[in-house]
Structure 1
Amino acid sequence: MSVARPTSGPSASQTSSTKQPKAVWAVAFASVIAFMGIGLVDPILKPIGEQLHATPSQVTLLFTSYMLVTGVAMLITGVISSRFGAKKTLLAGLAIIVVFAALAGSSDTVGQIVGFRAGWGLGNALFIATALATIVGSATGGVARAIIMYEAALGIGIAAGPLVGGFLGHFSWRTPFFGVAVLMAVAFIGLVILLPATPKPAQRTSLAAPFKALTYPGLLLVSITALLYNYGFFTLLAYTPFPLDMGTYSIGFIFFGWGLLLALSSVWIAPKLQRAFGTVPMMGLALALFAADLAVMALFAEHKPVLVVGTVLAGLFLGVNNTLITEAVMVSAPVERSTASAAYSFVRFAGGAAAPYLAGKLGEQHMALPFWVGAACTAAAVVVLLSGRKLLAGVDEHDPAAHSVEEAQAITLGDD
């Protein structure tokens, strides 16, 4: 039996969302800039291929190397942050991104860019896992409100990234990489100034902790679901610019619309749907609609207006799902949030790393094929989620606002 969630009360949630500790705003600010780096390269994928004489599958390796290293590196984020503290880990991540983004901009071959993007993925892993755990641990108003703030930062960053990338990419494909380096440097300085020194955790996280976390059925279920729908997600992100075959400005504006809908649905639509219909049903519906969206894009792959509308509309479905699945991760196993985040991210990033490359390869054979495969994988995510929904039966009975960090970490879903 579901319990009414106090987060529906307007005054409490609004107050908690605006009156946050300085640390929360500092990390959220850095997250916005960090996530700009994802969409920043979208408008320049095709120009890179044309100017460096590379095929779509070679160019999409920029995403594959980035995701693969990000996923694998997630396994060590807890080990590092538990020994050096959150602030030093966050700063190390940003510093690594600055260096490798600048090196990517200085490259002369696609192979060099792919390699430097791998190094970029290491910095990204250190930042992402630690940023989410820091926001959730420091924010007032409970887990749900903290995750909404994190997803808002993600959405704003992803939405702004293509616009900045499209503008800078008009000058040269190298300029967006240097732009990322500058923005990451700004985020680095912001964290140095605004984020207070964070104490080291009382207990050190072991290298085996993420693997042990995945032995909890609820977390494993959510992770596999994310792996499957991430295939569709990164097919959309990495491959769509090629059949669109438009200029950097146009691609930038299209993915800005996608990111804007993602941000809006993450912050405002997802919580309302969650309260009205429940977490798992809304995750299933959002993923089913995303699968249908990809299928329509496959059917009309040669019609650019359909691809444009399908890309933008996908942000609506992905925003709802991202918020709900991230909250489910935070309460799906009785482990530290940083460990749960690392385990979940390892599966979804490392497992989904093949998507951009395979999409490029399949697209070289037939333009619509990557979208069909993406739709099929996303539909499989729905099947996996609904087949194991009993493992997440308690997710809507858990009230993040009513529990402290320690209490939330002790909750095991599905024990009823």
Structure 2
Amino acid sequence: MDSASNTATSRNNAAFAFIFVTVMLDMLAFGIIIPVLPHLIVQLIGGSIARAAVWTSAFGTLYMLMQFVCSPVQGTLSDRFGRRSVILISSFGLGVDFIVMAITPVLWLLFLGRGVSGMCAASFSTANAYIADIVPKEKRAAAFGALGAAFGIGFIVGPALGGFLGHFSIRLPFWVAACLSLLNFCYGFFVLPESLPPERRTKRFDWSHANPFGALVLLRRYPQVFAFAAVYFLMNLAQFSLNSTYVLYTDYRYGWGPQAVGYTLAFVGLCSGLVQAVLVRQLMPKLGESKLIMIGLPLCVAGYMFFGLSSTAWLFLLGIPFLCLGGLAGPPAQALMTQQVDPHEQGRLQGALTSLASLAGIFGPALFANLFALFISDHAPAHLPGISFVLAALLLVVAAFIANYAIRHMHPHHATSHADGGAAALAAELSPLAGTVAHEPLPTDQSESSP
């Protein structure tokens, strides 16, 4: 019995390591093309930067729109046919798509390729469902924190590598991204086991569950899940204040150039990674999911207020640790949602959550960028360059009230911390990954969200 248990644990650790590498490589491939995609667009349209800015924003919207549409489809497919095949097909599709983008001579094909990238990148929801399959409930917050580290590694390293490769050829980063995705496919084909046994799969594929709005109906069937999903959406929406205004705001208010922006974003990534990869694991067995959420959200509010109201750069920098400590709230909120959904619906849950994040990505950049433009213009009702960050803070205040309500009405089993120290145990089991520092990116595709 002990031998069988050890074998199962070993298989699960290997599977988790693959999912970690999958997410990291996919984010690395995504991040590599960030510095060069706008320049390739300029090249394909004949050198007009103004037109390129319009097209770049359209590329970003298309990417998030395709994630919004396709995430629940992939989640439902994974509930019906298993996680492994969906993840592998997505990795292979990304690899082929990057090759097409690397060789395309026309803008419309590059635009189409970006849409396909959004479709394939929707597999992140399936990766989260895979984790929910193989990790016990009491250990999931730490596991999702580790996945946040994988996001961060890819995002921090990717743009730097892409900028370096772009000096040699503007299309070289696309080829490297293709190689990473195809290597990931090969690795998974030979290593990744299936996490969802046939007896736990749904009996048929239901299109009412696969469309993005139908998938959101699932959230309403579970009242606490619906409340935490609202918190998740508000957190993602607030994050787009960074994506859409960080570069322009710091240039306008503090005179920062690309180098200063790059250094501060690296600092954000490092601090966020320490929170996700270390603090979440250390604090989970001591405080539990509920307390971590209610600690993280106010800290995040403080960070955004520092960003929005600081008149000097050094005060702005003081907000970074507060903002990153706000990352304590994300993994436990996600873990609580997985604990309250049936095992055969984990794929639908993660697809619905990814759709919510994508929906925030469709509307968030326009909301915050236009507010920033309005409040620095001659027609501003008040001169408040940091209005986007102030609004983000207010959104998280609302999120904190919703989270508090959901926690107070939760089943007692989920409202308390787990006495068995599950998160610490997971950290020990996954010790090769424990030193990893990074986070799900705060500013995602800067080139796509900035004019």
Q: For 1:130, what is the secondary structure of its paired residue? A: helix
2:329 aligns to what SS in structure 1? helix
Is 1:213 equivalent to 2:222 in the alignment? no
> Contact 1:300–1:306 at 8 Å: present in 2 too?
yes
1:43-192 matches, within 5 Å, as 52-54=48-50, 59-104=56-101, 116-125=113-122, 127-139=123-135, 142-169=139-166, 175-192=172-189
Matches of residues 228-267 of structure 1 in structure 2 within 5 Å?
228-245=234-251, 251-267=261-277
Partner of 2:373: 364
The corresponding residue for 2:331 is 323
RMSD of aligned residue pairs (Cα, Å): 3.7
Q: What is aligned with 1:7?
A: none
Paired with 1:56 and 1:103, the residues of 2 have a C-alpha distance of 22
Q: Secondary structure at the match of 1:353?
A: helix
* Cα separation, 2, equivalents of 1:312 and 1:42: 25
Cα offset, 1:181, TM superposition: 2.7
Partner residue, 1:342: 351
Deviation at residue 291 of structure 1 after TM alignment: 2.4
* Residues 238 and 396 in structure 2, CA contact (< 8 A), matched pair in contact too: yes
* Count of aligned residue pairs for this structure pair: 385
- The answer to whether residue 23 in structure 2 is matched with residue 23 in structure 1 is no
Following superposition, the deviation at residue 328 of structure 1 comes to 1.6
Contact 1:225/1:381, CA 8 A, preserved across alignment: yes
Q: SS in structure 1 opposite 2:233? A: helix
Tell whether 2:351 aligns with 1:355: no
**Which has the larger displacement, 383-392 or 40-49?**
40-49
Q: 1:63 to 1:331 in 2, by over 3 A?
A: farther
Select between 89-98 and 369-378 the one with higher mean Cα deviation. 369-378
Change (3 A) 1:67 1:393: farther
* Displacement of 1:218: 0.9
Q: Deviation per CA, 1:141-161: give whole Å up to 9, x if none.
A: 843453343233233333333
C-alpha deviations, 1:333-379, integer Å up to 9, x for none? 33532222222222232244211233333333334333233233223
Pick the structure with greater CA Rg: 2
Alpha-carbon spacing, 1:358–1:115, altered in 2? closer, same or farther (3 Å) = farther
Residues 113 and 371 (structure 1 numbering): CA distance in 2 closer, same or farther, change over 3 Å?
farther
Change (3 A) 1:292 1:279: same
Offset of 1:44 from its aligned partner?
A: 5.8
Give me the identity figure in percent.
21
2:279 to 269, 272, 276: 269
Q: Which runs of 5+ in 1 are unaligned?
A: 1-15, 404-416
Matched, 1:33 2:30: no
CA distance in 1, matches of 2:105, 2:49: 11
Shift in CA distance, 79/136, structure 1 to aligned 2, threshold 3 Å = closer
Contact 1:162/1:252 (<8 A) preserved: no
1:169-208 per-position Cα deviation (integer Å, ceiling 9, x unaligned): 5556655444433322222222123213667633335334
Moved more, 361-370 or 393-402: 393-402
Amino acid at match of 1:184: S
- Between the aligned partners of 2:65 and 2:73, the Cα distance in structure 1 is 14
Stretch moving more, 37-46 or 181-190: 37-46
Structure 2 residue 401 is the aligned partner of structure 1 residue 383: yes
Mean Cα deviation higher: 171-180 or 379-388: 171-180
280 and 83 in structure 1: CA distance in 2 versus 1, 3 angstrom threshold: closer
**The residue matched to 1:392 in structure 2 has which SS?**
coil
The answer to whether the Cα contact below 8 Å between 1:43 and 1:165 also exists between their aligned partners in 2 is yes
Unmatched segments (≥5 aa) in structure 2? 1-7, 210-214, 377-384, 423-451
Query: Compared with structure 1, are the counterparts of its residues 276 and 349 closer, same or farther at alpha carbon in structure 2 (3 Å cutoff)?
Result: same
Bigger shift: residues 212-221 or 129-138: 129-138
Q: Distance between the aligned counterparts of 2:149 and 2:117, measured in 1?
A: 23
Q: Deviations over 1:114-143 (max 9, x none)?
A: 654332121111x21221222332357843
Corresponding residue of 1:281? 291
In the alignment, the residues of structure 2 paired with residue 108 and residue 313 of structure 1 have an alpha-carbon distance, to the nearest angstrom, of 45
8 Å Cα contact 1:165-1:252 kept in structure 2: no
Counterpart-to-counterpart distance in 2, 1:243 and 1:130: 35
